[in-house]
Structure formats: C-alpha cells, structure tokens
Structure 1
Amino acid sequence: MKTLFLGAYGFGNLGDELCLLEAISAFPSKEVWVRSVAKEFTAKCVKCDGFIKWEPACPEKNYMVNFDRVVLGGGGILNGPPGRDYMSWIVAAQNSGAKTYVHNVGATGPDDAIWITPEIKESFEKLDGFSVRDTDSFERIKKWGIVRKVERTYFPEKNIHKDMSLAELLPEGPILGISFLNGGAFFDAIKRNKVKIQEIVDRYKGMKILPIISTIHTFDELENDIEGFKKFYALFLKDFEIIMPETLQKEWWHKNMTPQKLKGLISKCDVLISRRKHNCVHAFSCGVKTIGIFRDHDKGVASVFDSLSDIMPEGSEMIPIK
C-alpha cells in the first residue's frame, strides 16, 4: 500500500516529527510518502520513500491525490485555518478514492469551529478511522457536532525508542533539564510568579543544567526554544552550570537533533522542568521526574499529566500559573 502522511512536518518542531514516526509505525506501508514544508529537516528524523510538495496549502475538493491511503498523523492540528487546510487534503483524498485516517491528533483553539464547513464535517464522518490524543480533544470534537466513533490514543508516541548517541556524551552527576518556549505572554506569567518558580528551582541547586531544545520554528520566533531557555536561565539559573551548550547553537541543533536523540538526552535527566508537551511525554516514558509549568488555561502539558497518569514518575507535579 502506498501511503501519504500529512501533518505539521518540517516546521522545526521535533514533537511533530515524533508524531510522524509513530504514525508511520501505526500504518505499515509498502511505500511511505510525506508532505513536509522542509524535507531536509523531516528526512533526518524519518525514513520514507519520498516527499510531495507542500503546495497547495488548501487544495480544491477535486485535487487529485494519487495514493492508496492518506493519514493525517498527529500534532495539535485541528485548529482554525490549519485544521481547514489539512482537512481539505482529506476531502480531496476521499474524492480521489483513497482510504483516509485522522490519527492521534489534538483538537485545539476556539470551541466555535467555524472552520468546519459542511463539506469538512462530512469528510470527518467518511473517515476510515479517527483518533485523538487526549480526552480534552475528544470532548472538543463532540462539541463540534461530530457524532461518529472517535478513539483516544493517549500519546502513543511515548513508545518511540530513544537514541543514546548524544546522551552518552553527558558528564556524570545529577542533571536538571530545562525546556521552555519563547512566548511573551508565557514569560509575563512567569515573572508574575517569580517567587513561586524560584522556590521550585532552588530545590535543585547543585545540579547541572541541560538545555532541552525541541523546537526552533522556521516561521514563528515565539516557538524558538533556544530563546526561551535563555530567558528562563537569566531569570532563575545564573548560578547553575550548563552542560552540552552546543544545543543552544541553531546550526548544531538542526544538524544533530532528532526526536530519538532528544528523548535520549531527557532520559539522562534526574528532573525535567518544562512547558513543552512532548518533552513531558518523553520524560514520563523514561521515568524522569517532571515539573510542568504552564499558563492555567493551556491544555497541552496538563493533557500529558492526565493522559499518562498511570506512568507518572514519582514526585512529578503540574504548576499552573496566571
């Protein structure tokens, strides 16, 4: 079977390529093809037979999709215009006679779902399989009026193997992993809660700091984890030693980092402090104590703690902030 995998691939977020790895394993195929905005980035993370061009972003319903099966595979992509664009590919694939699946996705954004046209709603009903990653997404889809059967996967990407080739270079001793995006509103909340967060950080004095960089987004500077780490370090970690500082170099990161290698690094941490959902997934699956810090209305990190509560490492906690 010749399968095309769709998602937010190639944008510089290793969480999306992690979801792609899982989707490829969940849908074994004779030929694997991927739609990526930057095939060089995706190709270092997954093995596939080829890539299709990114355009059109939002195909017409009669656009020919020449594949036996099309899988929209993972990430928080059912959200406004991006959701419309991805589901337009599903509509076109169904009209081309392909089997279609929406697999392990997150439904985020506003509840009104004005992007779901009657045509897109019908395409949801016609899917050969439909699954979401967490209960929040499941409930949101029901609010959208989609009445078909929807499975819940609970982050199956947690089972992707880890690559220890970078982790083996780390020094001995306790390690504190730090993982934050670069959002202005998020750091405004961090500053309003500085005393609380400093108390948390002070528990781990004497540990070495490992930057956990999972995203350097091609188009969105707010999704630049290098800058997010630098902001958090300046606020709370000036007395801590940084190890593997090359992870803070953009060119090095693009050349060397994959989802599997990132998981290997996280597995060597004694504690992870993170705002990044998929880094929390990695930490849970590796038994690493996890402190999730997030704005209280954000669902991503909380969904990991809720979905994977059965494997939550001892001492892990959520820190919602306003």
Structure 2
Amino acid sequence: MPNIVLSGYYGFGNAGDEAVLFSIIKALRKIDPEVSITVLSHNPGETAEQYGVGAVNRWSVKEAAEAIKKSHLVISGGGSLLQDVTGIKSLFYYLGIIFLGKLLGKPVMLYAQGFGPVFTNFGRKITRTVVNRVDYITVRDENSAAELKKLGINRPPVEVTADPVMILEPEKNEMERARVLLSELKAGGTFFEADKPVVGVSIRDWPGCELFIEGLAKVCDDLAASGWQVLFIPMHYPKDLILSQRAAGFMKEEAYILEKELPVQSLLGVFANLDLVLGMRLHSLIFAAASGVPAVGICYDPKVEGFLKQVGQINAGNVECIDYNTLKKAVFDAALNPEPLREKLKDRVHQLRRRAWDNAELAVKIARGKQTVT
C-alpha cells in the first residue's frame, strides 16, 4: 500500500488551498483506492476529520520527519508555495520540507505548482539548489515552467499539467443544495431571487487597494441597477469576509454575502449557480472555469493572468492600476455577451481536466516504484 505525504498551505482556512488538497486526495484515491495519505497541516485534527486522512502538525519537525520516514513519496503542492512575495520564511519552510524528504531518502515530487516569483538573490540561490534535487516536477502553467528554466532548474524533468482543482466537476445534489442556500440569503429586506442573473465577486486584500474597492463597488452598483444580483464570495476566512463586507458597504444597492464557510464541493455548487464571476482570487476563477461560468479576472499576480489566458477569459487589468471605467467595460462586455466565453471554456476545460489527472497518475506510479526517478 503506497503511503504519500502532502505538504502545502493546508489547514489555514483558505478555500483555494483546501480545494487543492481536496482535489489531490480525490485524484490519488481514484487512481489507487489503496493509497494512504498523511497531510502536514496547520490544523491536523480538522484536516484529518474533514478529509479522512492522516494528518500531523506541519510546524513539528519531529512529526513531519516521522511521517516522511514511513512514506513512499513526498508531494510538495499544489498552490504557489515556492515564492517569496508572502515572505522569505514561507519559501524556506517549503524548501525545508523538500530537503527533509531528500535527506530521509524519499522521492519528492512538486505537484502542479505555480512557481514564483522569487525576488531575493538568496531565495533564488537556495531554491535552485534544493529544487534541482527533487525527482519530478509538474507545474500548472507555462509561465511556471519558464520561470523554473530561467532560475536554472535543469536536473528533474518538468511537465506542464494543470491546477489540481481542474479535476472537479459540480455535482447535481450540491448544485441543488446551493440553490436552497442562496434562496435563504438576505440583503437589507430582500431575499435572493432565483430567476435573476447573479455575479459572484471574490476579492482579496492588497496594499493600497482602497480606491480599487470603491471602484469595484460602483461597478457592482451598475450591475445591480441593470437587474443583476451581486454575491460576494469570500475564499479566505475571515480576511476576505471582512473585505467583502467593506466593499458591500460602499455600494448604494444591496449586495449578498456568503458569510458561511463551505466545504469544497458545496462551494463549487454555489459557483455552478452563477452567471458570471468577477474574481481576484485565482481559485475563484478556477472554480468558475470548472463550473463552465464566464469570468472576468483582476490580476495581482502573474498566476491570475496566466490562468485567464489558459481558459480564454477576460483580464480586466492589474489591481494596482485598474480604474472604474476599465473595470466596468470588462465586466459589462462579459455580462452582455457571455456565449463566446462559455464556448472557450468548453474547448479548454476538458483538456485541462485531463492534464490535472496526469498529476495523480504520475504520483501513484512514483509511490508504487513504477516510475523511474532521477
């Protein structure tokens, strides 16, 4: 029975990263029902209960080492783990787990990661040294592959696949549950109406974003005045919830807020009931694509721009320089003419879904000793 250890940003209440974890576990079990999985988690008790896996404290070197010793493969990913935008300590942590895996003689795979950016010279040097020791790398986009090559990662083979979450498809029962959940939402004195179009809005905090939030609120007002319902969907609690409440507070029209944190498949059911997504969080755009819902993205990181390009959806511009008029045009272009965007999703999502399964197939082969490692 293969034993696999998963390292990532797990147990922190980030819907995107929890969706990644859920998807990896689901894919590995589909490929090999006998697989045993242990997750390095910030909240191991909750992770173990929610996903039916083994889980240990990610901050305990002893617990992590014991889990890795028993494993046949260490997976780092998915998500954007190897970057120093959120701080050099985060980069060192994930490199440390990779190094520990190799130190203990285990094969290590970077699983559908979105690589970079790594800005600091020391960060780039240590990343190059450690990552050139791993056994196999899959990345979720061409930009990540190019960044790895630019950094001098030349020893392990690199394969471009797709984000792990792309394996997910909305389930009919979850879509129905989501319809019931939405019908119970209330904004001011008004209940959510099933027969009106709805835009899901997913935003995150960003330095100096106050003017952007005010402009976004005006665009949401314009949509509401045109007959749309506006639903804010936080992806990271409580940070995104607080920001969503602030954005809704700037609006003159009423807006709904999904205040309850939902399991991954339930959240996907909500996205499947939308008509349009206006997203800043990468995984809000991935959920939209997996659900066949047209999307307009607001970029704060190359990963967002890269995914929008992959699935042929609208890039409204960078959060640091986008203005009200530009955002309004992008949103209304999508709202008034969604069919070309839907057609692009049909063409591209099937291919990305197949590539996302490739990650799990490769991981199981390595864990079972059927894949030659470098």
Tell whether the structures are fold-level matches, with TM greater than 0.5: yes
1:82 maps to which of 68, 83, 90: 90
Q: Note the C-alpha offset of 1:45.
A: 4.7
Could you give the per-residue CA deviations for residues 157-196 of structure 1, whole angstroms, max 9, x where no partner exists? 12213333641313312212121113342334444xx2x8
Aligned to 2:283: 278
| Rounded Cα–Cα distance in structure 1 between residues aligned with 2:61 and 2:221 | 43
Contact 1:180–1:229 (CA under 8 A) maintained in structure 2: yes
Note closer, same or farther for the CA distance 1:125–1:109 as it changes in structure 2 (3 Å cut): closer
Greater Cα shift, 33-42 or 68-77: 33-42
Partner of 1:320: 318
Deviations 1:132-176 (A, max 9, x none): 122222222222211132111232412213333641313312212
Partner residue in 2 for 1:121: 128
Pairwise CA RMSD: 2.9
Aligned counterparts of 1:265 and 1:83: Cα–Cα separation in 2: 33
Q: Which runs of 5+ in 1 are unaligned?
A: 218-223
Change (3 A) 1:45 1:176: farther
Question: Are residues 207 and 303 of structure 1, via their aligned partners in 2, closer, same or farther at CA, if it must alter by over 3 Å?
Answer: same
- 1:199 deviates by 4.7
Residue by residue over 1:30-81, the C-alpha shift from the partner in whole angstroms, topping out at 9 and shown as x without a partner, is 2111110012443465231x11122236999999733111111211110133
Look up the match of 1:304: 307
Does the 8 Å CA contact 1:111/1:140 hold for their aligned counterparts? no
Asked whether the 8 Å contact 2:109–2:135 carries over to 1, the reply is: yes
1:32-111 aligned within 5 A: 32-43=37-48, 45-48=50-53, 50-56=54-60, 65-80=69-84, 81-111=89-119
**Residue from 143, 151, 160 that aligns with 1:136:** 143
The aligned residue for residue 233 of structure 2 is 212
* Native 8 Å contact 1:134 1:154 kept in 2: yes
* C-alpha distance after superposition, 1:102-127 (max 9, x if no partner): 11112233334522555x53442332
Provide the rounded CA distance (Å) in 1 between the counterparts of 2:218 and 2:18. Answer: 33
Aligned residues: 294
Separation in 2, partners of 1:131, 1:276: 22
CA gap of 1:60–1:166, structure 2 versus 1, over 3 A, is: closer
Distance 1:110 1:185, change over 3 A: farther
Do structure 1's residue 168 and structure 2's residue 174 form an aligned pair? no
Q: Structure 2 unaligned segments of length 5 or more: list them.
A: 184-193, 322-374
1:181 is matched with 204
Runs of 4+ in 1 over 6 A off after TM superposition: 57-64
Deviations 1:229-284 (A, max 9, x none): 1122123x331342xx5x32xxx42xxx1221111101101111121110111112
Identity of aligned residues (%): 22
Equivalent residues of 2:296, 2:315 under 8 A apart:
yes
TM-score, scaled to structure 1? 0.80
Give the residue type in structure 1 aligned to 2:175: M
Match for residue 254 of structure 2 among 232, 240, 243: 240
Query: Is 1:226 matched with 2:241?
Result: yes
Which amino acid in structure 2 is aligned with residue 276 of structure 1? R
Correspondent of 1:264 among 230, 246, 269:
269
Structure 2 residue matching 1:185: 3-state secondary structure: coil
Matching residue of 1:220: none
CA distances 1:69-104 after superposition (whole Å, capped 9, x unpaired): 111121111013322211211111122122211111
Residue of structure 1 equivalent to 2:11: 10
User: Which of structures 1 and 2 has the bigger CA Rg?
Assistant: 2
Give, in angstroms, the shift of residue 320 of structure 1: 2.9
Inter-partner Cα distance in structure 1 for 2:113 and 2:167: 16
Matches of 2:140 and 2:38 in 1, distance apart?
Answer: 23
Q: What TM-score comes out, normalization by structure 2 length?
A: 0.70
Contact 1:180 1:274 in 2 (8 A): yes
The one-character-per-residue Cα deviations of 1:263-308 (angstroms, maximum 9, x if unpaired) are 110110111112111011111221212121234xx32321220122
